[in-house]
Every structure is written in C-alpha cells, then in structure tokens.
Amino acid sequence: MKEPLITHMYTADPSAHVFEGKLYIYPSHDLDDHPNRPAPDNFGSQYDMVDYHVFSMENMQTPPVDHGEVLHIRDVPWAEKQMWAPDAAFRNGTYYLYFPAIDHEGIFRVGVATSTSPAGPFKAEPNYIQGSFSMDPCVFVDDDGQAYMYFGGLWGGQLEKWQTGTFDPDGQVPGPGEPMLGPRVAKMSEDMLSFDGPVGEVSILDEDGKPVTAGDQARLFFEASWMHKYKGIYYLSYSTGFSRHLAYATGTSPTGPFTFRGYILSPVMGWTTHHSIVEFQGKWYLFYHDATLSGGVDYMRNIKVAELIYNADGSIQTIEP
C-alpha cells in the first residue's frame, strides 16, 4: 500500500504544480471528525472544509513542508461554506489560487485569490469569477500562453442545475440514453481573474465518435477534471463517480472534443478520488487521494502520489492503488 504523503492532517484533492523549481501541492483540507459535522447526503454536506494549506517538496524523496493556512473562508466575502478542491496557476509575477465554495444564496461558484509567493498567503478577490458555477476548477496554461479553466461536478457540484444557462434548482441529470453532461471550459482573461468569453461544454466521445451517454457509468464524467499535455496531445482526465475510476480521454485541442482512452487509476478506498498530473524532475506523477489514514472515513482523506507511465502509443498504464 502506498503511504499517505501527509499524516498530521487530513488532505484531499491535491493539485500539484512546479513553481520556482519546487513541487507545490494545493489540496483541500478535511477537518478532523467533530460533533457539528453535517450528516452525509448526496450533496456532500459532510465535506465541510473551511481553509487551505500549501505544501512544497524539494524532490520526491523529501517529505512535504506545510506552509500553514494560506486562505480561510472567513476572509472570502462572497463565500459561506464548503471550500472544496482548489487549483493554482502563475502569470506575470503573481500566483493564483482558484477555489470553489457555496455562496450566500446556496450556489457553488469559483473564486480566486492572489499572492506574490507560491506558498501564500493568498488574498481573495471580493467577488467570485463572474459566469462561474459548479466546482473543481482546473486552470491549464497552454504553450501559447492562453489559459483555460475547466470545472464542473454533478450532484453536490450542481452541474446538472445549469443546463439552461442559468441556475435551475430543479435541474436533473440526463436520462441513461442521453449524452452525459461534460465538464465546462472557459478561456481566462490576461489578468487571470475573469473569463474571456462564454463558457462551453467539453465533449467526450466513445471509440465510435459518439457522445458518451449518461448511463455509461464506466465512462461517465462525474467530477474532478484535469488537463495536461504530453507530446503535443491534450489529456483530459476525470473521475467517473459511481464506478470510481480515474478515466482519461485525448484530443488535439484544449477545448475538445476528446476521445475516451481508458483508466489512469483503479478504485481507491473511499467514495472516489480527485487528482492532478504533473511532470517534475524528469518524471510524471499522479497525485490523488484515498481514505486509508482514517480507516475508510471518506470525509477524512489523505493525499498520495504514484509515478505515471506512458506507453509508446501515448496511452497511460493503469495504476493499482
């Protein structure tokens, strides 16, 4: 069994990036069990996180350094609760921390905070990114400098409630034979604080070029999209939810369409996992989470890492946790 990277606190949803020659990890922070935790439900109320820590590693042999709390929900004017999976990016001397939270109207939005250091602390913008919704932001900066944000998640992430373009509290997931809901993507503006244009849906196709359907649990997009590029090909990876795989699809454009290719990671202990993929010191790594540290309590998770291996045809070898 691969050991947890961090054991002094519960961490999940690791977003890993190389900044200033070091590996930085931006996870969510699961709280220790407490009597006021909301009861588990289909909307993830039990994941009642309120802050973020940042960790750094000089290399893959040294333990992560905890740089402490870098942002708390009390310092985010628009946010009420549930600071879930974050991501980070860098441009023009500024580091950006992107994070989802439920606003004071009960709607998931994506916010951004800035710092002059990859280790924080971060100062939140007074409002969420206009046009943002749902959760699990991933910001990918392409070789030409254009940045894109990918986001979205079903159920607790409310993605199904945005099919009309506005929030519909009664919105439902598509029927089993209908095309599934894909993650959303938007170009980022030059200042990295807003969207530059409309939000689009990412299309994920099967081997016959047809959209994956909502009833295809083995390939369903549920949450946790991540984008990386390898040898000129764009890799969109995501969690399938109920079948509990990390799946991936490839394409020739950052906005899709993408063709399903297979699985990066088999199911872990816990409900599902959330990941990132990064190249560091000549090797590729998958960062993910499970619930081994707490003995299987899914809202008290821990992050892990495994080396990622590509085959000659660009496919990824499935990792067994």
**Does residue 5 lie within any of the structural domains?**
no
- Give residue-wise pLDDT tens across range 164-223: 999 999 999 999 999 999 999 999 999 999 999 999 999 999 999 999 999 999 999 999
Query: Domain for residue 99, yes or no?
Result: yes
Range 65-83 average pLDDT: 98
pLDDT of residue 253: 98
Are 66 and 49 spatial neighbours (Cβ–Cβ below 8 Å)?
Answer: no
Q: CA separation (Å) from 200 to 17, 48, 117, 158?
A: 25, 29, 31, 16
Q: Is residue 220 part of a domain?
A: no
| SS3 label, residue 159 | helix
Whether residue 228 has pLDDT greater than 90:
yes
Confidence of residue 2 (pLDDT cuts 50, 70, 90): confident
Catalytic: which of 87, 160, 223, 298? Answer: 223
CA 273 to chain centroid: 10
How confident is the prediction for the chain on average, in pLDDT? 97
Q: If you average pLDDT over residues 248-272, what whole number do you get?
A: 97
Predicted local distance difference test score (pLDDT) of residue 1: 53
Looking at the structure of the chain, the number of domains it has is 1
What CATH number did the domain enclosing 116 receive?
A: 2.115.10.20
Residue 145, phi then psi, degrees to nearest 5 = 90, -10
What is the pLDDT at residue 42? 87
Cα 296–Cα 300–Cα 304 angle in degrees, nearest 5? 80
User: 266-298 pLDDT, tens per residue?
Assistant: 999 999 999 999 999 999 999 999 999 999 999
Range of the domain at 284: 10-199+272-308
- Rounded mean pLDDT, 101-130: 98
Residue whose structure tokens are 């016959």: 208
Per the residue annotation, which of 13, 136, 160, 290 is the catalytic one? Answer: 13
In a domain, 317, yes or no: no
230 located within any domain: no
The yes-or-no answer on residue 87 being catalytic is no
Residue 167 inside a domain? The answer is yes
For residue 265, the one-letter residue type is L
Q: For residue 286, what are the contacts with CB-CB under 8 A and spacing of at least 6? A: 246, 264, 265, 275, 276, 277, 305, 306, 307, 308, 319
The pLDDT value given to residue 60: 96
- Residue 316 domain-assigned? no
Q: Which of 108, 111, 135 lies closest to 123, judged by CA?
A: 111
Q: What is the pLDDT of residue 222?
A: 98
140-155 pLDDT per residue, tens: 999 999 999 999 999 9
User: Does any domain span residue 38?
Assistant: yes
Active-site residue flag, 144? no
